[in-house]
Structure 1
Amino acid sequence: MTTTQRHIKGLGSALAVMLLAGCSSAPNESAVPKPPTVDQTAPTSQTCDASAVQYAIGAPFDEANLATLEEQSGARQVRVLRPGTAATMDFRDDRLNIHLESNDMIEALRCG
């Protein structure tokens, strides 16, 4: 048997296997459960209201008014940002951001 005849026989066998594979039935898609969907934007039960604490702009920052600002804004989390502080850009509607000046005076109060 020559090399060409062996290649033709091999190709014939491969073709037969591919034809048989094409005749098989497709898997039943309804038998495979779909993965549960995840809500990436789950609403929080408590949101921040920065308008309720705007009176504190210009006031000195300390731990006592931190607790007061957190409570009055309804925030679940507080982030203090001093000049030059690195901060993530994620938005959280339940977080109060307290922006301070270099002398620890409150410069701005924003939710996010």
Structure 2
Amino acid sequence: MRAIMVMVPVLIAGCATMQPPMAARGPCVIDERVKMRFAGVKFRERMRPEIEHAANAAMSRVLRPDDAATMDFRAERLNILLDDGGQIDGLRCG
């Protein structure tokens, strides 16, 4: 009985600290507002979550000139296209 009394507060505390599940994102959507916000901006890896969120994308990949990429279409994926200087040249879903 004593063991149960000790365990109950521990179990309750563990449940109280659980994070709510993240909302599912996707499909990717790029509108004019998103294009204008990021066009010509020097890409930094720390920007990736912000760009994904703005495009409602669950994942992304960065493609530089001459990078090889699969041609499969994934509605929840954002392609971040960079120019030779590392600036965002375009955003494309798939």
| Pairwise same-fold verdict (TM > 0.5) | yes
1:64 maps to which of 28, 46, 56: 46
Q: Report the equivalent of 1:106.
A: 88
Q: 1:84 to 1:65 in 2, by over 3 A?
A: same
Gaps of 5+ in 1: 1-43
Question: Percent identity over the alignment?
Answer: 42
Contact 2:25/2:57 (8 A) holds in 1: no
TM-score by length of 2: 0.68
1:80 CA displacement: 0.4
Q: Report the equivalent of 1:91.
A: 73
Larger Rg: 1
Distance 2:63 2:45 in 1: 14
Contact 2:28/2:75 (8 A) holds in 1: yes
Question: Which amino acid in structure 1 is aligned with residue 34 of structure 2?
Answer: V
User: How many equivalent pairs are there?
Assistant: 69
Indicate yes or no: 2:53 matched with 1:53.
no
Gaps of 5+ in 2: 1-23
TM-score by length of 1: 0.57
Q: Secondary structure at the match of 1:50?
A: coil
Q: Secondary structure at the match of 2:42?
A: coil
Structure 1 stretches (4+) deviating beyond 3 angstroms? none
Distance 1:100 1:47 in 2: 22
Q: CA RMSD in A?
A: 1.6
1:74 maps to which of 56, 64, 67: 56
Relative CO higher for 1 or 2, CA cutoff 8 Å, sep ≥ 6? 2
